[in-house]
Amino acid sequence: WILITEANDVQISYDENHVILDSCIVNVTLSNPHGRVVGIQYGGLDNLLDTGKDETRRGYILQRGSSGFYAYAIYERRSGYPACDLGQTRMVFRLKTDEFQQMAINEEKQREMPNEEDRGHGRSVPLRYPEAVVLTNPTDPRLKGQVDDKYQYSMDTKDVEVYGWVSSDPKVGFWIIFPSQEFRTGGPTKQELTLHAGPICLVMFHSGHYMGNNYCEFHNGEAWRKVFGPFRVHLNSAPKSVQPSVLWKAAKQQSLIETNQWPYSFPISPYFLKKAQRCSVSGRLLVHDRFISPKAFPANSAYIGLAAPGDKGSWQKESKVNQNGVFPITNILPGEYNIYGWVQNIVGDYKNETLLKLSPGSSIDLGDLVYEPPRNGPTILEIGVPDRTAAEFYIPDANPKYINELFLNSEKYRQYGLWERYADLYPDGDLVYTVGISDHSKDWFFAHVTRAKLGGTYEATTRQIKFKLGNSFQNGTYTLCIAIASATHSHLSVQFNDKLGRPQFEASLNEQDNAIARHGIHGFYQFLNVQVNPNWLVDGDNTLFITQKTNINPFVVNHCSDITVAAGDKRLSGTMELMSEGGLKERIIRAGKKLKHPHHSEDALLKDLEETTNCLAMVKQSNKYMIHSLMFKLIKPKIFWHEDVRVEIMVVTYIVEATRVTTPNVPYSDDIMRDIFKHMDASRDLVSMCGREKESKASHEGKCWNENFVAMDKEAAPKGISYFVPPCL
């Protein structure tokens, strides 16, 4: 460790076993010769640290003359060292138990915490693993019945700025501030521990938490050096009457100051490079997905990073792109890198194969970089959102026996024991998801877990996805894409239309990120592409079976981020060419003109209505203004009260699409919507009768509509409609 001082600010004194550093604001005592921190005197407290524990559990820190101190570590492997892996490295600060009870890790997560005694025998009951306990007799009665588990306070690296503890009397804040994340491994979405009951403050440099254990490996003879830090331990104080949140806000302000000063100018190590020795890279990331837009568009909400050449992995320095896809990456250490990244709501990983050789002080503008997602055709069905998490799926309420009140209204996945809730919801059978009717936020359990059985055993679970295909499906090829947000010893098998047959695809997902046990909603991202043989599919109703086969314990699990079935190069019936915003607007105007004077011929009118509905299906909610010219043309009496049931079905299809586009508003006034639903209710009997006439075309369409009409009744409100246009239309 390297001592950081300003000679005019710091007085240094010695005794036989200690070195004392005094800045007149903070007094820090180090053990001699080990350099461990054994005392921090500040704000009226003789020592903020707990001296009743073995000193070897301290972190190694260094002091600079201010209301706090900085520290960094240099890890080095010399050439010729044997192969090994780096499982975990961190610094630990154990504060005084009787002084620090209030913690804060962000604006929303602030609370009184149990102490270490509360987690012991007689005051708590252990749960499935040692880190988790239920508090049965805590010293603070308000905490009785709650779960305490250090993993509940983990955070994504990108969200970590400052966290820490506040004492009660005197009011002193102890804060960890990260001025940069460049020295932390795993990239911006890597989750790490922050603090936990003790009171403990952790500074995690590297670990396998939420990622697996072996992603930092060194080959035999490989040389390596890395600087971890500096980070700041910041101290502040206030009168006893002041709320802890005031100290938190002051620490946040200090965090901004530290960030603006990065890279620091004061470290004396030659291995910590100053600003003039560092590099910068800039550019613009675009996405080219012809099934979203014919032209490349800016990669908004994307993350871009630099990492050493190799597989897609952790980033040395990252930057979030702006709304135009432009990214600046500054203060980069010289070296050889590739560009890596990913785009929110776009599947897959981006990697630019061009090797960047950055010399000290250099600056490179890469211009436009284009990412082409792994897609073979238009989307036929999709469950979820490709955002690398399972947060959009159904997350159940916690068992009342296992509550942490901090997560009742947000981040519900942080609650303990959610893996047990699947068996409560599906005690005998498994989840069945029907495309066009089911809602992934209500009907898709967020984690694919095992089911507990009597005798402490577990059984594999199989999910079913039901979907329809039109009669031209055999003309194309298909791809099943499964984005995995996390997995722990999971074995996935996939079957189309034959649950008992041999799996058509299997994958062993042997990562050990333990996201479900550690209350995470994502872990190590994986992407599976399955080529689907058209012979596996049938005309009409299809079922996709996805089984999580490993059943050794409740923590064998995977979180899906997104499941997609896409067509190949040949288009399916019911899919439509996507076009520019201007082209779509012109097409809608032409369709509206045709409906101004409807055809007397049913077939010609149906053709015009189909064109109108196809146009509407391509309109996004952000472009709802486009449909204004159509709004009242389709509820004209000549069309809306048409005697041909096929016309009525097409009109109702339009109304449902219009409701989707205008959500959360409705497309018409209350009176008109009331008349529409009365008419739809009256039409249902006619549709049902037609559905029994198997030989007529109208009966085939009537059957499809009747199935979807039930879904509308179930939701009972226009903005709650879950609708899927049947392929037969």
Question: Which range has the worst mean pLDDT, 356-360, 369-373, 550-554?
Answer: 550-554
The conformation of residue 416, written as its DSSP 8-state character, comes to T
Is residue 47 predicted with pLDDT exceeding 90? no
Partner residues linked to 560 by β-bridges:
484
The three state secondary structure string of 66-109 is ECEEEEEEEEEECCCCCCEECCCEEEEEEECCCCEEEEECCCCC
Amino acid at 579: M
Instruction: Quote the pLDDT of residue 278.
Output: 94
Render pLDDT for 687-727 as a digit per residue (tens, 0 to 9): 443 433 333 322 222 222 222 222 222 222 222 221 111 22
Residue 90 neighbours by CB distance under 10 Å? 14
Residue 599 neighbours by CB distance under 10 Å? 15
CA 204 to chain centre: 21
What phi and psi, each to the nearest 5 degrees, are found at residue 245? -60, -25
Rounded Cα distance, 391 and 402, in Å: 20
The three state secondary structure string of 678-725 is HHHHHHHHHHHHHHCCCCCHHHHHHHHHHHHHHHHHHHCCHHHCCCCC
Q: Which residue has the higher pLDDT, 574 or 391?
A: 391
What is the torsional sign of CA 45, 51, 55, 59? negative
Write down the pTM of the prediction: 0.72
If pLDDT is split at 50, 70 and 90, which confidence band does 59 have? very low
Instruction: Quote the pLDDT of residue 504.
Output: 87
If pLDDT is split at 50, 70 and 90, which confidence band does 131 have? very high
Q: Which residue has the higher pLDDT, 634 or 84?
A: 84
The DSSP H or E segment spanning 588 is helix 581-596
Average pLDDT over residues 20-29: 78
Q: Which residue has the higher pLDDT, 397 or 300?
A: 397
Question: Which range has the worst mean pLDDT, 179-193, 319-333, 446-460, 484-498?
Answer: 319-333
Average pLDDT over residues 551-558: 68
Rounded Cα distance, 445 and 439, in Å: 11
Is residue 412 predicted with pLDDT exceeding 80? yes
Distances (CA, A) of 199 to 112, 119, 280, 653: 11, 12, 40, 59
| Percentage of the chain modeled with pLDDT above 70 | 79
The conformation of residue 526, written as its DSSP 8-state character, comes to E
Instruction: Quote the pLDDT of residue 576.
Output: 24
Rounded Cα distance, 296 and 350, in Å: 15
If pLDDT is split at 50, 70 and 90, which confidence band does 319 have? low
Average pLDDT over residues 419-444: 93
Average pLDDT over residues 363-378: 89
Residue 391 contacts residue 521 (beta carbons within 8 Å):
yes
Is residue 323 predicted with pLDDT exceeding 70? no
Question: Which range has the worst mean pLDDT, 119-133, 535-549, 632-646?
Answer: 632-646
Render pLDDT for 452-484 as a digit per residue (tens, 0 to 9): 888 888 889 999 999 988 765 556 678 888 888
Q: Which residue has the higher pLDDT, 19 or 623?
A: 19
Residue 58 contacts residue 38 (beta carbons within 8 Å):
yes
Partner residues linked to 93 by β-bridges:
201
If pLDDT is split at 50, 70 and 90, which confidence band does 65 have? low
Q: Which residue has the higher pLDDT, 683 or 158?
A: 158
Average pLDDT over residues 166-195: 90
Rounded Cα distance, 618 and 451, in Å: 41
Tally the C-alpha atoms within 13 A of residue 482's C-alpha that lie toward its C-beta. Answer: 23
Instruction: Quote the pLDDT of residue 428.
Output: 87
Instruction: Quote the pLDDT of residue 655.
Output: 76
Instruction: Quote the pLDDT of residue 235.
Output: 93
If pLDDT is split at 50, 70 and 90, which confidence band does 20 have? confident
Average pLDDT over residues 288-302: 87
Peptide bond into 230 cis (omega under 30): yes
Render pLDDT for 137-172 as a digit per residue (tens, 0 to 9): 999 999 999 999 999 999 998 899 999 999 988 999
Three-class SS of residue 566? strand
Question: Which range has the worst mean pLDDT, 38-47, 165-174, 272-281, 645-654?
Answer: 645-654
Average pLDDT over residues 595-621: 73
Rounded Cα distance, 268 and 50, in Å: 30
Tokens of 488: 């722990």
Distances (CA, A) of 493 to 383, 400, 433, 490: 18, 34, 17, 10
Average pLDDT over residues 500-523: 84
Selection from 648, 630, 631, 629 nearest residue 639 by Cα: 648
Q: 645-662 and 670-691 are packed helices; what angle lies between their axes, rounded to 10 degrees? A: 140
Render pLDDT for 518-535 as a digit per residue (tens, 0 to 9): 999 998 888 888 888 888
If pLDDT is split at 50, 70 and 90, which confidence band does 646 have? confident
Residue 254 contacts residue 338 (beta carbons within 8 Å):
no
Is residue 359 predicted with pLDDT exceeding 80? yes
Residue 320 neighbours by CB distance under 10 Å? 13
Residue 440 contacts residue 559 (beta carbons within 8 Å):
no
Is residue 242 predicted with pLDDT exceeding 60? yes
Rounded Cα distance, 291 and 303, in Å: 22
Partner residues linked to 42 by β-bridges:
45
CA 634 to chain centre: 41
Tokens of 209: 């938490």
- Label the pairing between strands 217-218 and 279-287: unpaired
Q: Which residue has the higher pLDDT, 499 or 465?
A: 465
Selection from 621, 581, 571 nearest residue 293 by Cα: 581
Q: Quote the Cα angle for 673-678-679, to 5°.
A: 95
Q: Quote the Cα angle for 351-356-357, to 5°.
A: 155
Peptide bond into 170 cis (omega under 30): yes
Selection from 377, 159, 190, 409 nearest residue 289 by Cα: 377
Instruction: Quote the pLDDT of residue 320.
Output: 52
Give every CB contact of residue 283 below 8 A, 6+ residues apart in sequence.
304, 326, 327, 339, 365, 366, 367, 368, 369
Three-class SS of residue 351? strand
Instruction: Quote the pLDDT of residue 123.
Output: 94
Instruction: Kindly report the average pLDDT of the chain as a whole number.
Output: 78
Render pLDDT for 204-240 as a digit per residue (tens, 0 to 9): 988 888 887 656 778 899 888 888 889 999 999 999 8
Render pLDDT for 98-123 as a digit per residue (tens, 0 to 9): 899 999 999 999 999 999 999 998 99
